[in-house]
Amino acid sequence: MKKNQIAARIFVFICLLFILCQASIDNDRDFIMCGTWRHDKGSPKYLRYDLRTGCRNIEISGTKDALSIQGAITAKCNQSKLLDLDLNPLQNQSHFCVFWDPLHDLLMVEVNGKIYTLCSQSGLQEACCTDLSPDNQTLGKLYGIVNGNLRGDILSHNVMEVYTFRGGSINCTKTFCGEAFQKHYGPNKIEKKLDGPVDLPCVQGAIIEMQEGFMGQDVTPTAQRNNQSNPAPSIYLPPYLMSAGRKKSKVLITYFRDNAVKTLFKTNLPNSNILEDVVGITVENEIIKNLPEPVRIRFHHSPFLPTQSKSCVSWDNKRDNEVIWRSDGCEIVNINAVETECHCNHLTYFAILVQLKPDAEVRHLEALTFITAVGCAVSLVSCLVLFYWLCKKSTGKKNQSSLVHRGLVVAVFLLSLLFIFTGTLANVGNSAVCWITGALLHYALLSTLCWMAMEVFHAFLLVHQVFKLPPHSWWFYLGGFGLPALLVSILLFIGDIYGKREIMAYANDTNPYYMCWMLNNEKSIVAHYIINLGLLIVVMSSGLVMLLYVVRKILKMPVLKNRYGIFLSIWGLTCLFGLTWVLSFLNFGPFSEAILFLFCIINSLQGFFLMLRHFIMKRIEKSPESSSSSSGFSKQPMLQTNEKS
């Protein structure tokens, strides 16, 4: 029991220490002085203050009946008053804290949990008094301040009558922006300080008051950027920002510009830059997402080069220790050559901006899309024909090779079908339809790769005759259809993996291609590298080993002592083992465009090549040489399609 209590106390201590450290980091120029005011019992107690403008010092003192704050540290506040404190007459001490925010000229005192505002918050001050450091202290006797501390650091455990702190005058706005630039969570720091219209060197801020019945509003900043070349972004706030049941709500809009953008919003994407403006939008005490009508931000910019493209992205600054740009939830609308609108369905703690990418994602997108669609259509018909013949051939016979071939044909058919319709569904379907289609397309791709692995495994079993009894058919179904279903189910459980994906065309950003697939976010990228590329590498490496082994057998067969037969046999094995997908790893260098076209042509026609291989092998099987050398074919599963299990 004692051990548990000790552990609990240690945990609480660590948490308090962490909070104090964070407070000291986030408020390194704010003044927080706390202590215990020791006074007498019974008599009335007062809070006395006398504040003047300037930047000299502040004195905090305690007597038997009054807690006093006096001095010159404010920019605009001139106040002198005596306040009654409603304290328990039976107590002889009270906890207090003095809070000074120089940036807003705000001074507050908390006594036993009740807050008294001595200087009300005003706009951001350019010249302010800060860096209040301990100066002279006067020792008390019976009454005064005990355990005085500055930002949690103990000043003295003794009873002190007076604490004096001297100040230093600085340019608050420039210093504030400079400190924000030095911290990776600078935008968060800036937004927390903005509570009204401001115009700082690093940011411009505006507060929009939404009343009950809010019908939407256009917002245009009053200030321009330093270079005066382009107007600042304009914003349209839809009526859906006002939550039902609320009578009032505030929207904080922050415009980051010029050097602030370069310093605060470093991109995590390769070969990319950020435009001069970044817009942050936050609704007070609310998280806004999935808006029926999007927020519209119009950016003004110089014309882009032909080698550049643009996209709308949002900055996820909920994680203080990393910068993540996301394209989820934002769509780009091109107004003209110098104006671009971003339509986004979310805004809380996100900054909206335009991202420039010097290198486009895909060149010749329209031609590649057409070629792939035609190839997939040919594969669809070929898979139907081949599946019919494989079923007809295996009728009344237990043929495991035909079973494996049929599984691969079904997977390729499903992949081709979904790939043809993914673009259409991405444009006409809703988010739920695209989410389901993306998951099914991923399942079809994984199933195709798994059935290719089953082909490699089955070829290995037939060539080496490892088992006297072949594996049960369900093992193949489990590997070809079951494993992909398990992987996709895990990704669906994780969430935020599938949806509408935009692929930007090279030098033609007005006509992007949308498809239902894996999203372009951190979780999807990790899943792609681990699952898609991992499985592809396993299939290709095992297929290559098996191909080399079987080719050695083929070259020794008398029926294939001609180049035509050898080429067709090797090509058939290459398609069957999925080795044509190796082209996806060769898309670089001066021949990258040619390889990309070759990849799309060959792999979209995969169903056709499987059908072609089947009929060629049937002809070889019926040839006179094949009949006289049937014994030589008995262990060549890739050359004959009617092997007995």
In-domain check, residue 485: yes
Residue 297 structure tokens: 């931000």
Look at residue 52 and give its three-state secondary structure: strand
pLDDT over 80 (residue 228): no
Whether 17 is covered by a domain: the verdict is no
Smallest CA-to-CA distance from 261 within 289, 296, 299 is with 299
Q: Structure tokens of 118?
A: 């001595």
- The pLDDT value given to residue 377: 92
Asked if 127 and 249 sit in the same domain, the reply is no
482 shares its domain with 601: yes
Shared domain for 464 and 403, answered yes or no, is yes
Dist CA 429 CA 352 (whole Å): 25
* 639, part of any domain: no
Same domain (yes/no): 141, 264: no
Whether 638 is in a domain gets the answer: no
**How many Cβ atoms sit within 10 Å of the Cβ of residue 562?**
8
Distance (Å, rounded) from C-alpha 198 to C-alpha 196? Answer: 6
- Position 309 in a domain: yes
State which of 357, 384, 411 marks the end of a domain.
357
- Using one digit for the tens of pLDDT, what is the confidence trace for 143-173? 999 999 998 899 999 999 999 999 888 877 7
Give yes or no: residues 353 and 419 share one domain.
Answer: no
Domain that holds residue 289: 183-357
Residues 345 and 392 in one domain: no
Residue 12 lies in a domain: no
Residue 20 has pLDDT above 50, yes or no: no
Confidence category of residue 623, pLDDT binned at 50, 70, 90: low
Average pLDDT, the chain: 76
Which carries the bigger pLDDT value, residue 624 or residue 597? 597
What is the pTM (predicted TM-score) of this model?
0.50
For 282, which DSSP code?
E
Residue 94: pLDDT above 90?
yes
- Give the residue with greater pLDDT, 189 vs 115: 115
Both 490 and 350 in one domain: the answer is no
Residue 65, pLDDT score: 92
Identify the domain boundary among 146, 170, 194. 170
What's the pLDDT score for residue 414?
93
The pLDDT assigned to 234 comes to 87
CATH number of the domain that 135 lies in?
2.60.120
For residue 176, being part of any structural domain is answered with: no
For 273-288, how does the pLDDT look when each residue is reduced to its tens digit (9 = 90+)?
777 788 888 887 777 8
Q: How far apart are CA 518 and CA 71, in angstroms?
A: 62
**Which of 170, 191, 221 marks a domain boundary?**
170
Crossing angle between the packed helical segments 365-393 and 592-604, to the nearest 10 degrees: 30
Question: 57 and 88 share a domain?
Answer: yes
Residue keyed to tokens 């397309």: 441
C-beta of residue 66 within 8 angstroms of C-beta of residue 49: no
Q: Are residues 345 and 373 in the same domain?
A: no
More confident residue, 462 or 134: 134
Residues 82 and 196 reside in one and the same domain: no
Looking at the structure, tell me whether residues 244 and 288 fall in a common domain. Answer: yes
- Return the structure tokens found at 313: 């992205």
- Provide the CATH number for the domain around residue 379: 1.20.1070.10
Total domains in the chain come to: 3
Cα gap 254→280, rounded to integer Å: 5
Cβ atoms of 205 and 167 closer than 8 Å: no
- Per-residue pLDDT, averaged over 97-102, amounts to 91
The residue length of the chain stands at: 645
339 and 374, same domain (yes or no): no
pLDDT of 213: 82
Least confident of 36-40, 590-594, 632-636: 632-636
Check residues 55 and 10 and name the one with the higher pLDDT: 55
Q: What percent of the chain has pLDDT over 70?
A: 69
Q: Which two tokens stand for residue 565?
A: 């037969």
Which tops the pLDDT comparison, 152 or 464? 152
Neighbours of 517 (CB within 10 A): 25
Least confident range of 96-110, 312-326, 432-446? 312-326
CATH number of the domain at 252, please.
2.60.220.50
Averaged pLDDT for residues 326-344: 83
Residue 77 is encoded by which pair of tokens?
Answer: 């506040």
> What pLDDT band is residue 70 in, cutting at 50, 70 and 90?
very high
Question: pLDDT (tens digit, 9 = 90+) per residue, 487-545?
Answer: 999 999 998 899 888 776 554 445 567 888 898 777 888 898 899 888 888 888 888 88
pLDDT of residue 431: 80
Least reliable range by pLDDT among 253-257, 258-262, 402-406: 258-262
In a domain, 18, yes or no: no
As a whole number, mean pLDDT of residues 418-439 equals 86
